[in-house]
């Protein structure tokens, strides 16, 4: 039951942007961190528990997550990811996550997410994404994992430290 209550409170707060007043979405930061550790055995970031939300929001890597809707919608992005995708919080958290990839690459992305569902996480993913301005970029060495509490699926997340422009 605790997982259901937490999931419900997350769903209601998904649209609230990270800010000092909500400790930079500390609720979601804890879900990201705990789920990452549960499936990989590694820490997402090393910091004091009370600083987790702020530390992840301003981390030197991109961090995103989406919900469990039939057509999942992003529900979190840290500052690095918002800058990389060239979107505001409001724009990003209104975007179906499939639209972060160009149309021809969405089938590849769907296969990736199915593999994550089956295995719990994958490491070392590389793929092309697109910013709101149409700028294309490779994400490299991404880890993608399932978000869950007490076995209740709450979505998926991705973290990547490197990216580069797509040059033709």
**CATH code for the domain in which residue 96 is found:** 3.30.450.20
Chain segment 142-163, per-residue pLDDT in tens:
999 999 988 899 999 999 999 9
Instruction: Output b/e per residue, 86-95; b: 16+ Cβ within 10 A.
Output: ebebeebbeb
Chain segment 21-80, per-residue pLDDT in tens: 999 999 999 999 999 999 999 999 999 999 999 999 999 999 999 999 999 999 999 999
Q: Record the pTM.
A: 0.87
Considering its fold, how many domains does the chain have in total?
1
pLDDT tens sequence across 64-87: 999 999 999 999 999 999 999 999
Tell me which residue range forms the domain holding 33: 2-165
């Amino acid at each position: 039951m605790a997982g259901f209550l937490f999931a419900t409170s997350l769903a209601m707060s998904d649209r609230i942007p990270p800010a000092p007043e909500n400790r930079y979405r500390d609720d979601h930061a804890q879900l990201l961190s705990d789920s990452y550790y549960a499936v990989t055995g590694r820490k997402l970031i090393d910091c004091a528990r009370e600083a987790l939300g702020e530390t992840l929001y301003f981390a030197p890597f991109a961090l995103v997550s989406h919900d469990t809707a039939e057509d999942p919608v992003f529900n979190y992005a840290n500052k690095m990811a918002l800058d990389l995708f060239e979107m505001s919080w409001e724009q990003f958290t209104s975007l179906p996550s499939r639209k972060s990839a160009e149309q021809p690459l969405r089938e590849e992305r769907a296969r990736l997410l199915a593999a994550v569902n089956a295995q719990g996480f994958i490491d070392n993913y590389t793929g092309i994404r697109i910013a709101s301005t149409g700028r294309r970029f490779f994400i490299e060495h991404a880890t993608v994992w399932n978000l869950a509490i007490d076995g209740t699926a709450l979505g998926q997340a991705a973290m990547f430290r490197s990216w580069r422009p797509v040059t033709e």
